[in-house]
Chain A
Amino acid sequence: MNVLQRLFRRRSPPSREIAKERLKLILVYDRVKISPDLLQTLKDEIISVISEYIEIDREATEVTLQPGKKYSRLVANIPIIGTRRRDE
């Protein structure tokens, strides 16, 4: 960068990167065509099944769609509190 360019250099991060990430995420949801209702149902059932085997933090559990190189991904992020054996 020359002197003048450095004087007028931007202070905030460029918005292009923000736009790119937002766009990728928006398209994942658009393309997969999973309705918010279906996503909620998936989340509830995943929580329900996992809870039979492990104690988890239901409120902090997240089930989201993520962009990926080859496939979009359904990602379940589940905090584990303790373990609970099934027959107790």
Chain B
Amino acid sequence: MPARVITITSGKGGVGKTIATANLGVSLAMLGQRVVVIDADIGLRNLDVVMGLEHRIVYDIVDVVEGRCRLRQALIKDKRLPDLYLLPAAQTKDKTAVSLEDMVRLCDQMRDDFDFVLIDSPAGIERGFRNAIVGADEALIITTPDIPAVRDADRIIGLIESEGKRLVRLIINRINPRIVKRGDMLDIKDVVEVLAIELIGIIPEDEAIIISTNKGIPIALEGRSQASLAFHNIAHRLLGEDVPFMALQARGFTERLGRFAGFLRRAG
């Protein structure tokens, strides 16, 4: 069966596309899927760094497209997993180095060898985004619960649907249950209501993400934090399983006080 080609995009920069691509790639690979993740942010590559594979880059997507190497030579196998590969972006070129036709050809080339092709889209609505979406069958839209990100997500959804791609689903990233509870953050319902596409995942704000990026170990590999669980749940849903959304608990002030009192009691 040919691969599903999925673009992870957002419009707005910095909302978590790269980290989501890395972690969804890892999660799917941990479920036995054959996965390739592609960094389409030519000139500003970061997927390699997030995955901790930056020291293994020999060839990149531009080398492949310009015929300096075969695709197989550019693909970096992630040794931590059975079937996860990275096609890195070039750092010294820009988005014009790869054409729309190149991207379509590349995606088609990979359809037979993989179950999932995940494309990390750059921010914006210009050439980089168009390159990332042209070869895809599906899109995952990442947004954070704030006005600028949701506005940009809305624009991107409009652009994708006008390209004829119908399977567009939403991931809300960096939800902070404490701030939502306080009434100072848009909540999941608000965002889903205005964007009106199917929600496939909610990822809570999690310090562990910062640490995982520092170390180059995608959080889904370690599986202990809420964010890690969230990525795994999305992977299951991508495979068609019906996984209920996590109930994100806000750690209230009095609860924290109680925990502190408990610590004092134990120490005493």
Q: Which residues of A contact B (CB under 8 A)?
A: 2, 4-5, 8, 10, 14-17, 19-20, 22-24, 26-27, 30-31
A contact residues around B186 at 8 Å (CB): 16, 19-20, 23
Interface of A is mostly: helix
Q: Determine if B147 and A2 form an interchain contact, defined as CB atoms under 8 angstroms apart.
A: no
A70 → chain B closest CB, angstroms: 12
Q: Determine if A15 and B257 form an interchain contact, defined as CB atoms under 8 angstroms apart.
A: no
Name A26's closest neighbour in chain B (CB-CB): B151
* Given A5-B254, A23-B194, A31-B158, A15 contacting B184 (CB threshold 8 A): yes
A contact residues around B184 at 8 Å (CB): 14-16
Q: Determine if B194 and A24 form an interchain contact, defined as CB atoms under 8 angstroms apart.
A: yes
Interface range for B: 20 to 34
- Which of A8, A17, A22, A30 is B253 in contact with, Cβ under 8 Å? A8
Q: Determine if B194 and A27 form an interchain contact, defined as CB atoms under 8 angstroms apart.
A: yes
* Given A16-B184, A23-B186, A31-B158, A5 contacting B253 (CB threshold 8 A): yes
Q: Determine if A22 and B147 form an interchain contact, defined as CB atoms under 8 angstroms apart.
A: yes
B8 → chain A closest CB, angstroms: 22
* Given A19-B146, A23-B151, A10 contacting B182 (CB threshold 8 A): yes
Q: Please list the 4 inter-chain residue pairs (A to B) with the smallest Cβ-Cβ separation, ordered nearest first.
A: A14-B183, A16-B183, A15-B184, A23-B147
B157 → chain A closest CB, angstroms: 10
Q: How far is the CA of A8 from the CA of B252 in the complex (A)?
A: 12
Show 13 residue pairs from A and B whose CB-CB distance is below 8 angstroms, ordered by the A residue.
A8-B253, A10-B183, A14-B183, A16-B180, A16-B183, A16-B186, A20-B186, A22-B147, A23-B186, A23-B194, A27-B194, A30-B154, A31-B154
